[in-house]
Structure formats: structure tokens, C-alpha cells
Amino acid sequence: MDRKVKRLVLLVVSCSAAGVILGGTASWAESKQCLKATHVTSECLTQDPVMNTLQGISTGFIAGAGAAFGAAWQLRHEE
């Protein structure tokens, strides 16, 4: 594997992992906070916390990978 390709893979993996962690944590905290609110809505009660967390994880993964590719694209065009 070429050195530049290894760096790109490392960048994508690390940004995606950070996105997964941040997205999953934020969605999980939001669902827990929703249930502890003083006025619980029917939308809050019908949402599955596990599915909400999985959606946050997938969104974070896509955002992290997109950010990594965007940063690599910008660096490539600056050179």
C-alpha cells in the first residue's frame, strides 16, 4: 500500500470512529433526557432508544467519513 493511501485510510477510520462515538453518545443522551423531562411527549414515548442510538451512530459514521474525505480532497488540491 502506498504511504498516501495508508494515511487516507487512517484519517477516514479515525474520523469515522470519532463520529460513531460522538453520534451514538449524543443520541443516547438525548433519548435519556427526553424520558426525564417534566413534560414527556407521546413522540418521546414511542421512540425506541436503541434505534435512536443506532441512527446517531450511523449519522456520525457518515459525517466522520465525509469530513475525512473532504479534508483529504482539500489538502490534495492545495498541493
Domain residue spans of the chain: 22-35+48-65
pLDDT digits (tens, 9 = 90+) for 18-75: 999 999 999 999 888 887 888 878 888 788 888 989 999 999 999 999 999 999 888 8
C-alpha distances in angstroms, 50 versus 18, 60, 61?
A: 19, 15, 16
Which amino acid is residue 11, in one-letter code? L
Q: What is the pLDDT of residues 48-57, one digit of tens each?
A: 888 989 999 9
DSSP 4: H
pLDDT on residue 4: 82
Q: What is the pLDDT of residue 79?
A: 65
Place of cell 414515548: 45
